[in-house]
Chain A
């Protein structure tokens, strides 16, 4: 990848250590993706905010980085570990470390969005704009549904783009790999957001390209699309799907494949608590849930994860009150993946609606998961 004179200077440390680190990252990912040069991006969405994911080494890295780094473009950030307004059960150490992380990001000038669904909260740039999205569901969503151009960025590469305003022109951002060579064909009618999540998880596993064609499905609703993007982002490196093209090779996604995926991530029949989200709930999911639990009470504790912005919007329209009457509780600014609200010390198993959530609850939180869609959860656990 060719760098301009001023980019070379920054890489050599002439504008401070943070920018030098940022250009080292861009140079490495430029080599990895065979980029020709760096191009401006309009928006960076950065992951690596939750203390449970980045740990003490991450806290220290960000403190050091924030000493001389400032965002160069609009920058939004992923959820943190917990809702500061609901600190019950969160350790003092966690709160202290989480506060340090948030303070480092704020010092850099990010918008404290704490959301994994920035596409539901912020204005979307015009189609064809280059962005740098680290959160994998958001990257897939941006490429597939919003016409934005991003590679499936990492926490550190999106941070590098945030402070330089640039990203490598390569792969999905260059447009070269936005044509699929493989189609995944759904051979049974997908019924719920869970089915879409399983399709995404399957596609991510079997497709090694950057873009996959999906056949046999209608245009997904926003709820279904979010689940599809999250599933795909979890299992693989594929960063885009298209419904309007077909690949040269077709792979079937039948009942057997769906069951195989389900058996991998759904590891329990039932759970002690319900977690809804991953991606965080938007107005669509909240409206659906409110209609399903109207006049009913949850028989188990139920945590709903959503962004502060969506919660505020839903509170004004009465949706929050309607859902809270069922006994469900909101947790803002956080999500069910790697949250300290859900630990193996507290729970043996969790009921969840998200394939991505289930993957991380199993592998990182080390709790078993009973995976069910929103309608089934409402039917079985609200009466």
Chain B
């Protein structure tokens, strides 16, 4: 499956296993940068690892310091290989610009659930495509 027409937010190319959630993420409160795991018990992705994954989520919410958490993921070697949002917010975009994590928005009207959790996904932000092996 190929989704074209994705909007490039941060350029680059990344491949990994899709980790898909319909819930926003507060990076400061919910992500342990040292382990790359979601620590919030009430979140759909509780205890899942984002290391090397293609993280698919609507947008981040809450603390502005989440941008540093995203940068820390790169510094600690726990970064996802790409990020896919419905509408990337400023925290995600700025953190990923510094961490050099490719980011795209799915085309408007394409639900995040189009990307199947655990499928192998390649994101090419410069071309604007997401390719999934089913």
Chain A residues near B (Cβ < 8 Å): 21, 24-25, 27-29, 31-33, 47-48, 50, 53-58, 60-61, 134-136, 151-158, 160, 204, 233-237, 359-360, 363-364
Q: Bound complex: CA of A55 vs CA of B72, how far in Å?
A: 8
Residues in A neighbouring B92, C-beta threshold 8 A: 32
* Given contact pairs A24-B97, A29-B94, A235-B61, A157 touches B67 in the complex (Cβ within 8 A): yes
State whether A32 and B71 are in contact (beta carbons under 8 Å apart), knowing that A24-B97, A204-B61, A364-B28 are contacts in the complex: no
Q: Residue of B at shortest CB range from A47?
A: B64
What's the least CB distance linking A367 to chain B, in Å?
A: 13
Closest to B104 in A: A31
Q: Of A47, A57, A157, A233, which is within 8 A of B90 by CB?
A: A157
Asked if residues A152 and B68 are in contact (CB atoms below 8 Å), the reply is no
Known: A32-B9, A58-B72, A360-B29. Is A53-B93 also a contact (CB below 8 A)? Answer: no
B130 on the interface (CB 8 Å rule)? no
- Which residue of B28, B40, B62, B98 is within 8 Å of A156 (Cβ)? B98
Given the complex, which residues of A lie within 8 Å of B30, measured CB to CB?
A: 363
What is the CA–CA distance of A236 and B63 in the complex, to the nearest angstrom? 9
Q: With a CB–CB cut-off of 8 A, which chain A residues contact B98?
A: 21, 24-25, 61, 156
Chain B residues with CB below 8 A from A153, complex form: 64, 90
Interfacial chain B residues near A29, Cβ < 8 Å: 90, 93-94, 97
Enumerate chain B interface residues (CB-CB to A < 8 A).
7-10, 24, 26, 28-30, 33, 39-40, 59-68, 71-72, 74-76, 87-98, 103, 105
B39 neighbours in A (Cβ, 8 Å):
363
B40 proximity list for chain A (CB < 8 A)? 363
Shortest CB distance A265–B (Å): 11
Q: How far is the CB of A30 from chain B (nearest CB, A)?
A: 9
Given the complex of chains A and B, what is the CA–CA distance between A48 and B62 in angstroms? 13
Alpha-carbon distance between A89 and B47 when the two chains are bound, in angstroms: 31
Give the nearest-CB partner of A60 in chain B.
Answer: B75
A119 to B97, CA, bound (A): 29
How far is B98's CA from A21's CA once the two chains are assembled, in angstroms?
7
Residue of B nearest to A31 (CB): B9
A58 to B68, Cβ gap below 8 A?
Answer: yes
- Report whether A160 and B94 are in contact in the complex, using a CB–CB cutoff of 8 Å: yes
Q: How far is the CB of A130 from chain B (nearest CB, A)?
A: 15
Q: Are A155 and B7 in contact (CB under 8 A)?
A: no
A156 near B29 (CB under 8 angstroms)?
A: no
Q: Is the beta-carbon distance between B93 and A32 smaller than 8 angstroms?
A: yes
A28 lies within 8 A of B93 (CB)? yes
Residue of B nearest to A168 (CB): B90
On whether A233 and B62 interact (CB within 8 A), knowing A31-B9, A55-B33, the answer reads yes
C-alpha gap A11/B100 in the complex (Å): 15
Residues of chain B contacted by A33 (CB below 8 angstroms): 90
- The answer for the CA separation of A48 and B70 in the assembled complex, in Å, is 12
Contact call B66/A154, Cβ cutoff below 8 A: yes
Q: Chain A residues with Cβ under 8 A from B88's Cβ?
A: 32
Bound-state Cα–Cα, A156 to B60, Å: 14
Pick the contact of A57: B29, B71, B105 (CB < 8 A). Answer: B71
Q: Which residues from A are CB-within-8-Å of B65? A: 47-48, 50, 53-54, 154-155
A136 touching B64 by the CB < 8 A rule?
Answer: yes
Is A156's CB under 8 angstroms from B9's CB? no
Could you say which residues of chain B place their CB within 8 Å of the CB of A158?
64
Taking a contact as CB atoms under 8 Å apart, the answer to whether B61 and A25 are in contact is no
Contact of A364 among B24, B29, B71, B94 (CB under 8 A): B29
Residues of A within 8 A of B105 (CB): 32
B32 to chain A, nearest CB (A): 10
Are A57 and B66 in contact, CB atoms less than 8 angstroms apart?
no
- Are B67 and A28 closer than 8 Å at their CB atoms? no
Bound CA–CA A364/B40 (angstroms): 9
